[in-house]
Each structure stands twice: as C-alpha cells, then as structure tokens.
Chains A and B, each alone.
Chain A
C-alpha cells in the first residue's frame, strides 16, 4: 500500500474553464502550463489529504483506463511534478 501524500505548492493555481482546457498557473513567476485532463485531475487531488493509491482510485473512476497503464502514467506525472517543484 502506497501512503505517500502529495501537495501542490501554494504558489500554484489550477484552473478548469469548463471547456476542457486545463491550466496551471505559477503565481510567483507568471508561468502558465497547459495540462491534459488526467494531469489536471491528479493535481486536483494533491491537497495533502490523499495517498497515491487513493488518487489513483479516484482517477480510475473518472477515466476508462487499465490500472497498470494508469499506474505507469501516474508515476511519470508525479515524478515530473516533483522534479519541477510543483508538488511536494
């Protein structure tokens, strides 16, 4: 069981404009990132309250994707966000 909990750093703001355009804003630098729906939803759960397994379970409910593929994508996405200092 994976109990690591991730948290979006406070300078970041997530935005969903309701037209399937997902954005991440860095309020320190003004950088803007375009996200896909999976990345956006993963970051939405990075509130410090959910474990990795809980986030994956939530994503599985939202997208029709096999667990093994999601697990790989999840790890890639989380690694990237950690490396970019977007989550901790």
Chain B
C-alpha cells in the first residue's frame, strides 16, 4: 500500500450558490424556489472550511464563482464569504456571477477592496431591452447595461454571459456589438440546459441551428472584436467543432463541483443530481464515494444486459473531437436520461 500524493499545483473550480433568493424571475432559470431567505452565515462558514481543507489537502488552487440566486441581494453575506476566501492561501480567484441589477457605486467600491475578486460576470440575454426583458423582466436592460458600464469604468474585469436558446439565438450576433460597445473583457455564450419536455419544446436549439449560430458568432467575432479589448470565450464543449483550437473538455467530476446555499453538492448546477451535503459529510466522502461522480469520470456507459460497458458516444476515441469536447453531460442527461449519450446538440453525424 503506497500513500498517493499529487504535487501538481492545479486549479479546482467551485461554483458556489451561497444564496438561493433572487430579485428576478428569468424564464429560463434552473431554480424553483425564489423566496428571500437571508443566508445562514454559520452554514457558509462551515462550507468554506470544508472547501478550504480539501483544497489544502489536494494542493490545488481554488477558483470560486460566487453566485445565487442573486449574490448582491445580500451584499453582507457575499462580502462575508469573500473575506474568508481573501484570507485563505488555498483560494486563488473569485468571480461573482450576477444579473447586474443591484450593483451601485458603493458595492463597486467594496468589491475593489478584495484582491481575489478578479472578475464580475453579468448576464445579458439580448442585445436590446425588448429581447433581454422578454427573458429577464421589465426594466432590467438599462439597469444592467448601466451596471456593466460602471464596472468597466471602475477598472474591474467584466464579462457578459449570454445564455443562448431558441428565443434569443437570432440575436446572438448582435451581442458581439453590444459587448464591444460596452468594452467588456469577454463575452461568453452558454447553451441553456433544457430540463423537461416543456422547456425542450420552448427553448431547445436543434444541432443544425446551433452550428449556424456558433459558426457565425465565431467568424463575426474575429471582425467585430478586432482591435477590441473584448474576447469571445469558447472554452465549452462543441466550440471545438467550429475550430479545433477552441473548446474544452468539461471539468465536471474531475476538477469542479457545485455547492448550493444549504451545502448540497451537485456535479454541476445544470445537472441536478445531489451527491450529498458538504456540511454533514465533508467534500472527501462525496468526492471519493459518489457513484454518480465515478460514473461521470468513467467514460463508459453502464453495463448492458450482457455485462458489456459500451463506450460513451461523446467520449468515443473514434470521435475526432474527443480530447477537447466530450459534450455537455447535463444536456445529454436531460435529453436522453443518460449522461453518457451523445450531446443532442452536436451537429456531427
């Protein structure tokens, strides 16, 4: 028996939904419960210490996205967590993911106090008020855009998240111009994960439309963002189909985890398969003991009746994009009921 140590200084990503409440009711949101509940600071502290212990043991640098709900609905809780992180040698960077409707000058001043808060990501779901507000609610567009301007002029690294689905995909190209005009550092395009039949009918983009949208965005971004500070972020699965140098294998189960406000651990916010509770069980027990996580890491389907483990469609070494794609497990899960099935939005035959 040999003790096993890995001395590589890698990054571990944590998406921490430290607050459940939100001031908006976006039509594509993953959340069911919006009632305002002030986060329990004791619970947040316990979660932080479990994460801190795990990062120290693994000798990995933590990169945390603090989100909700809407994180700025409780700035005191947000900055309480940020303070804990700021003072830990095991956490490297913090991003805050927000809808941008509650950030004022005082908040920006407070954010700037933290060296480890390195990015603010604001969700914008359309290039104008009509599209954005049809998704995020009346009166949100100007408020959000104004926030982005303030963040940029304060010198904070700012990015826009555009969640693309059937209702806004035709406006994706216009998002490039908005991002450029706002002088944000990056524009990230993320597919919506449709989680049931109703959402699928309403929002799911078929693979051939997605191919058109992605290819158009990729090509146009070279022109629109030329000599601009703004970059198009293409590190997620399927972008590799557009350009072999783009895309990236999803880190779910390998170097990332999602924590909800009450300590529930998920592989990813889009993949609602609770693995346990970090407060009650700690991260080690969940990370090493979860059958779901081992199944995600194991690039094979569960055994069929003959006991054979067929290889996952999106982990198939015969797929030329295997190393830098792998598909989105959540999209596959909700579409096929199986994380190992082919990403239903992949346009390759």
Contacts and interface: CB of A to CB of B under 8 A. Distances in A.
Partners in one complex: yes
- Interface residue SS majority, chain A: mixed
A13 B298 contact: no
Interface string B1-39: 111110000000000000000000000000000000000
A70 interface: no
Contacts of B57: 29-30
* Most chain A beta-carbon contacts within 10 A, residue among B1, B54, B298: B1
Contacts of B282: 27-28
Contacts of B288: 13, 15, 25, 27, 32
Contacts of B2: 33-34
B80 interface: no
A14 to B, nearest CB: 10
A31 B53 CA distance: 12
Interface string B255-290: 000000000000000000000000001101100110
Contacts of A32: 3-5, 288
Contacts of A37: none
B58 interface: yes
The interface centre, meaning the residue of B3, B5, B281 with most chain A CB atoms within 10 A of its CB, is B3
B284 A33 contact: no
Contacts of A66: none
A23 B54 contact: no
Interface in A10-69: 11, 13, 15, 17-18, 23-36, 39
Interface string B89-122: 0000000000000000000000000000000000
B1 A39 contact: yes
A23 B300 CA distance: 19
A50 B274 CA distance: 34
Interface size class of B (residues with CB under 8 A): 20 to 34
Given A15-B294, A17-B298, A30 B289 contact: no
Contact of A30 (B1, B54, B309): B54
Interface string B283-306: 011001100001001101000000
A17 B288 CA distance: 12
Given A15-B294, A18-B298, A27 B1 contact: no
A28 B300 CA distance: 29
A16 to B, nearest CB: 10
Nearest to A27: B285
Interface string B44-79: 000000000110011000000000000000000000
Interface in A70-88: 77, 80-81, 84
A30 B56 CA distance: 10
B285 A35 contact: no
Given A13-B289, A17-B298, A18-B298, A28 B1 contact: no
Contacts of A81: 1
A36 B116 CA distance: 42
B43 to A, nearest CB: 21
A77 B237 CA distance: 45
A35 B205 CA distance: 47
Given A17-B298, A30-B57, A24 B1 contact: yes
Nearest to A86: B1
A84 B54 CA distance: 22
Contacts of A15: 288, 294
Contacts of A34: 1-2, 4
Contacts of A17: 294, 297-298
B39 to A, nearest CB: 27
8 contacts: A13-B285, A24-B1, A25-B284, A27-B285, A29-B57, A31-B3, A33-B4, A77-B1
Given A24-B1, A25-B284, 9 more contacts: A15-B288, A15-B294, A25-B288, A27-B281, A32-B5, A33-B2, A34-B2, A80-B1, A81-B1
Interface of A: 11, 13, 15, 17-18, 23-36, 39, 77, 80-81, 84
